[in-house]
Amino acid sequence: MNNELHIVAAGLNHRTAPIEVREQVAFGNGRLEAALIQITDQPALGEAVILSTCNRAELYAAASSAPEALDALARFLSEFHGVEQAAVSPHLYRYEDEEAVRHLFTVAVGLDSMVLGEGQILAQVKQALLSASEAGSARTCLQELFQRALSLGKRARTETAIARGAVSISSAAVDLAKTTFGDLKGREVLVVGAGEMSRQTLTHLVDSGVKSVIVANRTFENADELAGEFGGSAIRFDEFPQHLDRADIIVSSSSAPHAIITVEKLRPHLATRRGRPLFIVDIAVPRDVEPAVADLEDVYLFDIDDLQTVCDRYRAERAKEAEAVAVMVDEETRRFEHWLGSRAVTPLLVELRTRTEALRDTELERWMRRLPNLEPEERELVGQMMRSFANKLLHGPTTHLRAMAGREQGAEWVPFVRSLFELHEHIDAQSDEEDVR
């Protein structure tokens, strides 16, 4: 019987499948629990974890046969969602053993994400493990694999710059505002336009502690709704110039066809502001703010191209770090493979030790019968000598087997040692998982 356990992964992500396919196989809205229960019923799979995000749907499993497990995963994915397998298969990637492990680690560190190094994926990996643990589908092997993935994900983000800097327009705007003001606590924000970009930027600003939010929009109801979301106040669109002397930060993203914040409008307020810095983010296209505003003293204007440049720079810096992170992934993959390999020889080592100890005890008993005149201390001494001899004899093969376990040819040693020591294959890898730990 083969005691080897294989890690396999099958799934699709934003690189391999369009959104139309991804949304068909997503495990959202409480379907994950049902899926985890069903997947454990698959005879080809020992353990399973499902990682489902907006960008990916991936199934991980530990099984004794990799090809069977991969087929089972692919079949399960289409059957569970009621999608034709032919519709999913072209977008599906399949990894086994080292490649599957490396893939999960690559996902956890953010190298496989749409935005390199993004942190959300780590929380999603953690949630996937938690759900599988609760459903009882992740046991020793996948627990170990996912815990290592989480630990590696954290390490990559703290030891390298893979997650450093803003990579979205809205977060870049807030980063720049912090460069001007440091702490944003107590700052006043004027938002012109109530679109999605305004909402995203406001989310980051409010998270950073801005004091008050004023929203101006041509449709007052939309301004009111957005202001209400962030505990701010809404004003009519034509009232916003009155607030130019109070605001520290202006976020403009209206759909006006021409500039609505001009030098002419702003200059009278500069005297009132007396040099207090004004940070303006213009994320509208066409631009809301006249470019000449940037020439005004103590006014700092950034348009969407400037923010994009900031994002590009951070992306480039993250890309530089990708190589270092890939090395970390490789190292951790090797460590996990070694752990998995040594786990495969553990039943053999247990058996070898059990057999040696049984032989030792039998021989000891036989010889003690032939030496009835020995004192108890002398009997104890002979027993100690036999135990020491057996330990020394086993030390070499044990160390060598453990060292070989993680290597490619490690599995070849198992039948050889069995044959050499006349061991019978009766220990099942599954039943000995606790010994491995």
The residues with which 50 forms a beta bridge, in sequence order, are 59
Q: Please list, in sequence order, all residues whose beta carbon lies within 8 angstroms of the beta carbon of residue 353, skipping any fewer than 6 positions away.
A: 394, 398
Q: Does 27 bind other proteins (CB under 8 A)?
A: no
Q: By CB under 8 A, is residue 300 in contact with other proteins? A: yes
Residue 344's identity, in one-letter code, is A
Of the residues 93, 181, 339, 421, which one makes contact with other proteins according to CB under 8 A: 181
Taking the complex as a whole, the smallest distance from the CB of residue 209 to other proteins amounts, in Å, to 13
Part of the chain binding other proteins (CB under 8 A), chosen from 34-42, 214-222, 295-303, 417-425: 295-303
Q: How far is the CB of 297 from other proteins (least distance, A)?
A: 6
Judged by beta carbon, residue 311 or residue 423, the one nearer other proteins is 311
- Whether the Cβ atoms of residue 350 and residue 417 lie closer than 8 Å to each other: no
User: How far apart are CB 155 and other proteins at their closest, in Å?
Assistant: 23
CA gap 96, 92 in Å, rounded: 13
All residues at 6 or more sequence positions from 100 whose CB lies less than 8 Å from its CB, including other chains: 7, 8, 9, 60
Q: Which is nearer to other proteins, 30 or 275 (CB)?
A: 275
Question: Which one of residues 45, 135, 310, 405 is an interface residue with other proteins (CB under 8 A)?
Answer: 310
Confirm if 214 and 242 have CB atoms less than 8 A apart. no
Interface region with other proteins, contact rule CB under 8 A, candidates 7-15, 34-42, 67-75, 301-309 = 301-309
129 belongs to the binding site for other proteins (CB under 8 A): no
Using the rule CB under 8 A, give the single segment among 56-64, 202-210, 271-279, 330-338 that binds other proteins.
271-279
Residue among 258, 274, 392, 426 that touches other proteins (CB under 8 A): 274
Closest CA to 265 of 285, 246, 224, 293: 293
> Cβ of 227: how many Cβ atoms within 10 Å?
21
Please give the size of the binding site for other proteins, defined by CB under 8 A.
21
Q: Is 424 in the site for other proteins (CB under 8 A)?
A: no
Applying CB under 8 A, among 67, 277, 286, 291 the residue interacting with other proteins is 277
Strands 212-217 and 233-236: parallel
Could you tell me what percentage of the chain is helix, strand and coil, using 3-state DSSP and rounding each to the nearest 5?
60, 15, 30
Task: Give me the least distance between CB of 310 and other proteins, in Å please.
Answer: 6
Q: Shortest Cβ distance from residue 313 to other proteins (Å)?
A: 7
Is residue 182 involved in binding other proteins (CB under 8 A)?
yes
Closest C-alpha among 37, 252, 222, 23 to residue 136: 37
Are 150 and 122 in contact by the 8 Å Cβ rule? The answer is: yes
* Stretch of 84-92, 116-124, 273-281, 410-418 contacting other proteins, by CB under 8 A: 273-281
Question: According to CB under 8 A, which one of 233, 308, 309, 384 is a site residue for other proteins?
Answer: 309
Catalytic-residue membership of 141: no
Question: CB of residue 300 vs other proteins: minimum separation in angstroms?
Answer: 5
d(CA 117, CA 381): 62
Q: How far is the CB of 129 from other proteins (least distance, A)?
A: 35
Which residues in 312-371 contact other proteins (CB under 8 A)?
313
Nearest-angstrom CA–CA distance, 175 and 171: 6
- Give the nearer residue to other proteins in terms of CB position, either 40 or 180: 180
Residue whose pair of structure tokens reads 């046991």 in the numeric block? 139
Is residue 377 a contact residue for other proteins (CB under 8 A)?
Answer: no
User: Is 276 a residue that touches other proteins (CB under 8 A)?
Assistant: yes
Give, for 66, the enclosing helix (H) or strand (E): helix 66-81
Rg over alpha carbons for the chain, rounded to the nearest Å, is: 32
Phi-psi category of residue 275: left, alpha or beta, with phi > 0 → left and psi -120 to 50 → alpha: left
Residues with Cβ < 8 Å from 355, sequence gap 6 or more? 421, 423
Q: Name the one range near other proteins by CB under 8 A: 148-156, 298-306, 359-367, 399-407.
A: 298-306
Catalytic residue among 16, 24, 31, 54: 54
Amino acid at 304: I
Strand ranges, E, within 276-424: 278-282, 299-303
Active site residues: 54
Where does this chain bind other proteins (CB under 8 A)?
Answer: 176, 178-183, 273-277, 294, 297-298, 300, 302, 306, 309-310, 313
